[in-house]
Amino acid sequence: MAKTQQVHLMSRALKNRIVSLVREITPAGIEAAQAIAGLAEPPLCEVKSSAVLERLLAGNGFAVSRPWKNLPTAFLATAGRGKPVVALLAEYDALPDCGDQPGQWGHGCGHNLLGSGAVMAGIAAAKLLKEQRKSGTILVIGTPAEETLGGKVYLAAQDAFRGIDAVLAWHPNVETKADIAGGAAMDSLLFQFRGQTAHAAAVPHEGRSALDAAMLMDVAVNYLREHIPDNCRMHCVITRGGKAPNVVPDFAELWYYLRGRDRQQVDDLRRRVCNCAKGAALATETAWKMVVNTCNTERIGNRPLTEMLDSLLHVYGPPAFSTDDARQAGKVAPKLAYSPTLDPIMTTPSRASSDEDNVSWFAPLSKLNVACVPKGTHLHHRQWAQMARTSGAHKGLVRAAEVLAAGAVELCLNAKLLGDAKADYQQNMKGKKYDLPLPKKAPPAGFKTA
């Protein structure tokens, strides 16, 4: 299949121009990625990390608004003018226990690269459109707290993604491929129990243990596990469970992630898990309450956009890792090797979830994965965070920026492609409505950073 034929942009001259525009911004982009890796700020605390990206954008002709909408560390950066409006999504939140030292935060998901790559792509695309005197607005949207809150979920609730013609996202990965499938729909829910404190030895009969309720609830959920669809996932941590064994705990809290193929499956899981909470509260004579942290949707896949990214990957190729890159990676984890290939479009949804799938309900969206670390690197782990600071990671960063920049420009120059992407979006949205069981305010009370 002559996929590259549909890509209008890729005259050799334009490709070379994208490469050189990305090269111009690469030292600053790598510096930003390294700075954000060092900062490793928790979700909604990414004050310095977002500022690093905002400075880079502002210094390269973007008008930056921050904070944006309802999140303190979100931003909107705009360059160019007129239609179409193409958005690139940036993330920059870190993860707990992924730093070099125990207890430190770190970029165990590589969001230091993710944010910088989107910014580099936006800068290169906007410069090219300006040089060519073409109409088109490039947005770089700073979307905080992907890992725990799902910043994009709350931005979407504020209509942040309406009026955008197309959205391109990327994620550092162990493989290089476009992704049409997205991830699982998910609920992040807190279950809180309130009981009655008492001396646990002298007058236990006067107490009503919130911890008992929490543990009973989880036992019930574990029994429920047998009777849910195979693809679903339910996992939890106990965030509060009392402070001393000799005091009957009057407060306990469980934090669940419920995942399924789509919202319908997750809504049903939520209903059944709530019954577990209800039963546990009844048994222990405690009161229960559910607090919704976030709700992710399944992806509305977009074939024309995904095929465009795949075509561009064929034009630019996977990152070419050197022996020096392998040597640096070997210091983090010996025996792991980079994937040198370009893989087919990912069509099976991931078991994990991402808030960018919510954005796909508002505009045609597709996503690129680019190899930045060797295969087998532990994700959400300090090993990933360390790999995300090596020269190999920066090779992937540059390739992602090139392909995203080319994709953004392509969407501004190729009206047929954009029209096809919009038609596909309309078709896939038939009968669907974005209506999540989500609180209006963000962050919700009880939001956890870890």
Q: Give contact residues for Zn ion (rule: CB under 5 A).
A: 109
Pick the closer one to Zn ion by CB: 109 or 121. Answer: 109
| Number of Cβ atoms within 10 Å of the Cβ of 283 | 13
Q: Say how far apart CA 39 and CA 37 lie, in whole Å.
A: 6
Pick the closer one to Zn ion by CB: 109 or 387. Answer: 109
Q: Say how far apart CA 39 and CA 44 lie, in whole Å.
A: 13
Q: What minimum distance in Å lies between the beta carbon of 146 and Zn ion?
A: 6
Pick the closer one to Zn ion by CB: 256 or 384. Answer: 384
Residue type, 12: R
Q: What minimum distance in Å lies between the beta carbon of 109 and Zn ion?
A: 3
Q: What minimum distance in Å lies between the beta carbon of 44 and Zn ion?
A: 16
Six-digit token pair at 5? 């034929």
Q: What minimum distance in Å lies between the beta carbon of 91 and Zn ion?
A: 7
Pick the closer one to Zn ion by CB: 109 or 211. Answer: 109
- Residue 65 β-bridge partners: 76
Find the residue with minimal CB distance to Zn ion: 109
Pick the closer one to Zn ion by CB: 109 or 401. Answer: 109
Helix (H) or strand (E) holding 178: strand 177-179
Token pair 């990152």 is found at: 319
Q: Say how far apart CA 75 and CA 365 lie, in whole Å.
A: 19
Q: What minimum distance in Å lies between the beta carbon of 93 and Zn ion?
A: 9
Contact 297, 357 (CB under 8 A): yes
Q: What minimum distance in Å lies between the beta carbon of 326 and Zn ion?
A: 24
| Number of Cβ atoms within 10 Å of the Cβ of 342 | 17
Classified as helix, coil or strand, 78 is strand
Pick the closer one to Zn ion by CB: 109 or 280. Answer: 109
Q: What minimum distance in Å lies between the beta carbon of 112 and Zn ion?
A: 11
Spell out the residues 6+ positions from residue 334 whose beta carbon is closer than 8 angstroms to its own: none
Pick the closer one to Zn ion by CB: 184 or 281. Answer: 184
Q: In what order do the strands lie in the sheet with 251-260?
A: 233-240, 251-260, 185-194, 287-296
| Number of Cβ atoms within 10 Å of the Cβ of 244 | 8
Contact 354, 146 (CB under 8 A): yes
Query: CB burial class (10 A; 0-12, 13-18, 19+) of residue 187?
Result: buried
Q: What minimum distance in Å lies between the beta carbon of 95 and Zn ion?
A: 9
Q: What minimum distance in Å lies between the beta carbon of 357 and Zn ion?
A: 13
**Number of C-alpha atoms within 13 angstroms, CB side, residue 215?**
8
Contact 210, 193 (CB under 8 A): yes
Q: For residue 167, which of 404, 414, 433 has the smallest C-alpha distance?
A: 404
